[in-house]
Amino acid sequence: MDWFKRAKEGLKPQKKKEIPDLWVKCDGCSEIIYKPELEKNFYVCTNCQFHFRIKSSDYVKHLLDDNKFEEFDTQISSVDFLKFKGKKKYSDQIKDYEKKTGSHDAVRTGLGKIHGNSVVFSIMDFKFIGGSMGSVVGEKLARAIKQAIARKLPLIIISASGGARMMESVLSLMQMAKTSALLAKLSNAGLLYISILTDPTTGGVTASYAMLGDIILAEPGALIGFAGPRVIKQTIGQDLPDGFQRSEFQLKHGFLDAVVSRDEMKATLKEILEFATDTEITDSENGELPAENVEDIKGTPEVKAGTVDDEAAKN
């Protein structure tokens, strides 16, 4: 009879529990912020108004009515055409980022509504390989633009990117021309394109579709440019001005139409969309103001037929 028996299974270490952080340090003012409060404020610091980077799903929740987003092309994923290998195989990187983000690439496209106005809505996700633009990003955006043309809807693209994806080489650079050419078709169709730039928007994305909007908006403090400030400083050998390449600096130098805080973005888009789609403003046939809507301006002399030609002949 055995007095002692070895346990069949040894002691198991307790599994580590993942407890979400409840406090976040602001990169702008170093204030410690209670995370649930930060979420309620659209990830904007209540102390200094610093705009944290957020996920594509957060933009959907914040900007689209009832959080409804009819997504296009969800199964398209990147292929390692060049068998690129750096510290890690590109194919393995793609798999890792798909698990981390729940997305197949750095952009989501689809249909949504903003205060009842239907739009084709595209959002880049910086968390997926730095929001870099590869063949899938270019293809999904190209299809989204085609959807906007076919459905005769405004297009909104929210950019957040480090530029073209180096692992795809020239195939990535090709997307700049492809998306730009299709945006020209969108413009020729008389459809509105609103480009929203967030932190950061740089490289090939800035050099293509991000800067082709009919209206270009940006979030406060966003880094916007082609090359980064460190590269520029090293190249020219000079100190750069304060706030260089930030959205406020770009607005001052005519690069943007407006800098809009995240909590005001949906209301701003509503105003733009309603103004752009107001069919009562112009005559649908010739694009002119209907006569019944034109009021006489006091103090303006009446211009009769032939007057302009006669005055021109005298001079």
Please report whether residue 190 resides in a domain.
Answer: yes
Q: Are residues 238 and 150 in the same domain?
A: yes
pLDDT at 296: 44
Please report whether residue 12 resides in a domain.
Answer: no
Q: Are residues 38 and 137 in the same domain?
A: no
pLDDT at 297: 36
pLDDT at 8: 59
Q: Are residues 198 and 86 in the same domain?
A: yes
Q: Are residues 44 and 59 in the same domain?
A: no
How many domains would you assign to the chain?
A: 2
Please report whether residue 17 resides in a domain.
Answer: no
Global pTM reads: 0.82
How many Å apart are CA 119 and CA 279, to the nearest integer?
16
| Segments forming the whole domain that contains residue 109 | 53-276
Q: Are residues 179 and 226 in the same domain?
A: yes
23: Cα within 13 Å, side-chain hemisphere: 4
**Tens place of pLDDT for every residue, the chain, 315 residues?**
566 566 555 556 666 666 678 999 999 999 999 999 999 999 999 999 999 999 999 999 999 999 999 999 999 998 898 999 888 999 999 999 999 999 999 999 999 999 999 999 999 999 999 999 999 999 999 999 999 999 999 999 999 999 999 999 999 999 999 999 999 999 999 999 999 999 999 999 999 999 999 999 999 999 999 998 899 999 999 999 999 999 999 999 999 999 999 999 999 999 999 998 774 444 444 444 444 443 443 444 444 444 434 444 444
Q: Are residues 32 and 139 in the same domain?
A: no
Q: Are residues 246 and 270 in the same domain?
A: yes
Q: Are residues 260 and 244 in the same domain?
A: yes
Q: Are residues 272 and 172 in the same domain?
A: yes
Q: Can you give the CATH number for the domain in which 253 is found?
A: 3.90.226.10
pLDDT at 43: 97
Q: Are residues 99 and 110 in the same domain?
A: yes
Please report whether residue 252 resides in a domain.
Answer: yes
Q: Are residues 33 and 164 in the same domain?
A: no
pLDDT at 6: 61
